[in-house]
Amino acid sequence: MGKMNVPDGLLYTKEHEWIRIDNHLGTIGITDYAQDALGDVTFVELPKVGDSIRQFEAFSSVESVKAVSDVYAPMSGKIIKVNDGLMESPELINQSPYDKGWMVVIEIFDENEKKNLMTASEYRKYLEGIIE
């Protein structure tokens, strides 16, 4: 299972999503661990711009050769941008989960929801508990 890439400066969920907060905007995707567990991603279902998503509720799904997996919102907000590139190239999630493989950008409703998420070091510890 190798060493999982967990960048600092992002916040993480127990369902293996990440969010990068920049002012009141949040960019969301799935982690290196999630894409590795899923295997080759073949299709990504994305919400529409203008949709609202709620913290820890499913807002999207990712299909891979192994399974279909829900993606849960790390924070609540209104979707202001979706990564259309994933329609053409869903494999970007495998190749670049934290960079080119981002899924949506939201306008964050409540910054206080951050406290329900894990820091990079907390998420690394959490993964150590999962990965034998």
43 lies in a domain? yes
4-10 average pLDDT score: 94
21-39 average pLDDT score: 97
68 lies in a domain? yes
What average pLDDT is seen over the chain? 95
If one counts the domains in the chain, the total is 1
25 lies in a domain? no
113-130 average pLDDT score: 96
pLDDT at 1 over 50: no
13-25 average pLDDT score: 97
pLDDT at 2 over 80: no
Q: 36, 33, 20: which is closest to 103 by C-alpha?
A: 20
Q: What is the predicted pLDDT for the residue at 131? A: 74
Task: Find the domain containing 37 and state its range.
Answer: 31-114
Whether 132 contacts 38, CB under 8 Å? no
Q: What is the predicted pLDDT for the residue at 5? A: 94
pLDDT tier at 130, thresholds 50, 70, 90:
confident
71 lies in a domain? yes
Indicate which CATH number applies to the domain containing 81: 2.40.50.100
d(CA 91, CA 110): 32
pLDDT tier at 132, thresholds 50, 70, 90:
low
28 phi/psi in degrees, rounded to 5: -125, 145
Model confidence over 62-82: pLDDT tens digits?
A: 999 999 999 999 999 999 999
